[in-house]
Amino acid sequence: MSDARAIRPATRDDLDALARIESEHLSGTWSRDALADELEKTFARLRVATEADVVCAFVHGWLVADELHVLNVATHPAWRRRGVAKALLEAFFIEARASGSVKALLEVRVSNGAAIGLYKSFGFVEDAIRARYYSDGEDALLMSAAL
């Protein structure tokens, strides 16, 4: 990452940017209010990547017992394919390991080949298909990785 890019915890000041990115994301399931609620949960983690103080991506997950549940990885279209999501996930997994997590879990749309490829590059394996998981009827691929 360049010196102008940083990864940090999300704050209330980031909520409008997170909601914009989420609305353009493949799932678009997390509202601004829902993301605000996540900031208050002790087990929830929201991290943002910024470039020149502009939020360009975020990752959202829950630390539950010794597992990290990755709920969302979303990048603004202008910053896709630039290594932002990879850098976010690397930092997220380091933080999860430091918090005692030994395993990561996630669901991803079966049609999202780019995300599946990214997750596989971190050692995620395909565990199962959850039929008609998303509101539009698309299946979800369940994946896991040792941290």
Q: How do residues 28-58 score in pLDDT, each as one tens digit?
A: 678 899 999 999 999 999 999 999 889 999 9
pLDDT for the residue numbered 27: 62
Q: Is the pLDDT of residue 97 over 50?
A: yes
CATH number at residue 10: 3.40.630.30
HSE-up of residue 29 (Cα within 13 Å, Cβ side): 12
Q: Is the pLDDT of residue 75 over 80?
A: yes
pLDDT for the residue numbered 16: 95
Residue 63 resides in a domain: yes
pLDDT for the residue numbered 1: 42
Catalytic annotation, residues: 107, 119
Confidence category of residue 26, pLDDT binned at 50, 70, 90: low
Cα–Cα distance for residue pair 107/87, rounded to 1 Å: 19
At 100-135, the pLDDT tens digits run 999 999 999 999 999 999 999 999 999 999 999 988
Greater pLDDT, 15 or 1? 15
- Percent with pLDDT over 90 in the chain: 83
pLDDT for the residue numbered 112: 93
pLDDT for the residue numbered 2: 44
Residue 43 resides in a domain: yes
Residue 117 resides in a domain: no
Structural domain count, the chain = 1
Residue 144 resides in a domain: no
Q: Domain limits at 14?
A: 5-106
